Amino acid sequence: MTAEVVEFLLWEDTPPIEVMNKAVDHIVDGVAVMLAGSRTDCVKKLTDFVREKGGKPSATLIGFDYKAPSTDAALVNGTSGHADDYDDTQLSTSPDRIYGLLTHPTVPVLASALAIGEATSCSGSELLEAFVAGFEVECKLAEAIKPEHYERGFHTTATIGTFGAMAASGRLLGLGDTELRYALGIAASLSSGIRANFGTMTKPLHAGMAASNGVTACMLARRGFTADKDALDGRWGFMEILGGGVDPDKIVGKLGNPFTLIHPGASIKMYPCGSLGQPSMDALLEVVQEEDLGPEDVREIRLRAGPNILEPLRYSKPVDGLQAKFSLQFGLASILLRWRAGLREYTTEFVNDPELRRTMGKVKTVLDTDVAKQGVERMRSVVEVELRDGRVISRSTDTARGTPEKPLRDHELDDKFRECAGYILDGDRTEEVLRTIRDIYKIPQIEMLTSLLAEA
């Protein structure tokens, strides 16, 4: 398996144009969430830490007027990208792979690629190809590792994201066969991240760690720092030790065949919270809009789902904006109260708003074995809205807007970008950044983009 990854990273052909075009969409989304995330408390604390460390100013901290060493830029920008839990989500290709155990694929890869790309003055097309490579490696490894990896409590964005970041960095640094093997081995020992930290500042740090560790692994390997040359494989390899095993048929001969960006694709989020609750939120939004409902019209909302959804989204009474991202009660209450659940809703102030707390009290979750028996590769749930007039409106759902089944229109992704960028950039700069990313393959040096991402 290590050999498969290395062979793929040494490819010389340009990926198909449809793959590159889809990658641009995910870069638009990735930069958007990095800009928005730079305003959060956890990123500000992390940036203060990086400033205190100092070091060679090699790469831009997105949203700040500051440059840092490549490893630290990757750390901060990766954390920014996951700080709002607004970044994309990998999809499952088989029923035994739980939706949600897979990765948030873009942020670790993009943060590492931007950091190394700026330090090496790569072109836009080179960064785009490196991003595609990292995205593909990350997603295929996440598919191949046994579900036990996530079920035991590892956070795949942190653990497998490290390899995606390493793959993108290795491409940009031009590492050869032996160096790539060393980098994979180093990454395997650096990889970490546990789900116990969901709902805290450390959860977004996982994506930053993955990006930084991927950069570190490649920079060490380039200097001849050694590691096991087959670190993904065998009894003592990463996939066995951290994952309880691997399904080789999910990766051998599958890298780029087809590219995950095309099949099954990845989901771009429309709500800044855990992906598992988003189909239910969309279903409730349809009901409240169709029936013109507010809290005063509703006696109770029941969310029926299996443990694959109810266990990760475990905060029934969140106390702050971070916990709210993993709360079905909050997400559904926000939809009922405001008909939306965006960046301005997922704040500690709104979480503790008395009217919101009262509305949350109307939301009940029910462990439903019939729903669970249908499988875990989709986000299955049933939303029941019991009205004060006695009617019960029921909606079954398993997918959300932004998935390949319900793709976003171009303006929806661009509007999300404007929403996120608006926290940091003025309107003219926002539009310039958006145009630059859309034409990224034309940029002779990636600094033409990163220079626009500093605090205005």
- 409 — pLDDT class (breaks 50, 70, 90): confident
Residue 423 in any domain: the answer is yes
Of 355, 377, 397, which residue constitutes the final position of a domain? Answer: 397
What pLDDT, in 10s, does the model give residues 122-180?
Answer: 999 999 999 999 999 999 999 999 988 988 999 999 999 999 999 999 999 999 999 99
Of 352, 369, 397, which residue constitutes the final position of a domain? Answer: 397
Residue 69 in any domain: the answer is yes
Residue 287 in any domain: the answer is yes
Mean per-residue pLDDT over the chain, rounded: 95
Quote the pLDDT of residue 33: 98
Quote the pLDDT of residue 331: 98
Domain that residue 383 falls in: 275-397
Quote the pLDDT of residue 155: 95
What pLDDT, in 10s, does the model give residues 189-238?
Answer: 999 999 999 989 999 999 999 999 999 999 999 999 999 999 999 999 99
Residue 352 in any domain: the answer is yes
Quote the pLDDT of residue 193: 97
Residue 299 in any domain: the answer is yes
- Residue 422 pLDDT > 60, yes or no? yes
Burial of 296 (C-beta count, 10 Å sphere; 0-12/13-18/19+)? exposed
- Residue 398 pLDDT > 60, yes or no? yes
How far is residue 268 from each of residues 125, 152, 154, 374, 402, measured CA to CA in Å? 22, 26, 23, 24, 5
Q: Please state the pTM of the whole predicted model.
A: 0.93
- Residue 100 pLDDT > 70, yes or no? no
Place of tokens 């720092």: 225
Assess whether 342 and 442 both reside in one domain: no
Assess whether 227 and 299 both reside in one domain: no
Assess whether 290 and 425 both reside in one domain: no
Quote the pLDDT of residue 243: 86
Quote the pLDDT of residue 289: 98
Number of folded domains that form the chain: 2
Contact 153, 140 (CB under 8 A): no
Rounded CA gap, 11 and 5, in Å? 10
- Residue 375 pLDDT > 90, yes or no? no
Residue 456 in any domain: the answer is no
Assess whether 316 and 416 both reside in one domain: no
Domain with residue 287: its CATH number is: 3.30.1330.120
Assess whether 74 and 126 both reside in one domain: yes
What pLDDT, in 10s, does the model give residues 36-92?
Answer: 999 999 999 999 999 999 999 999 999 999 999 999 999 999 999 999 999 999 988
Lowest mean pLDDT among 177-181, 387-391, 393-397, 402-406: 402-406
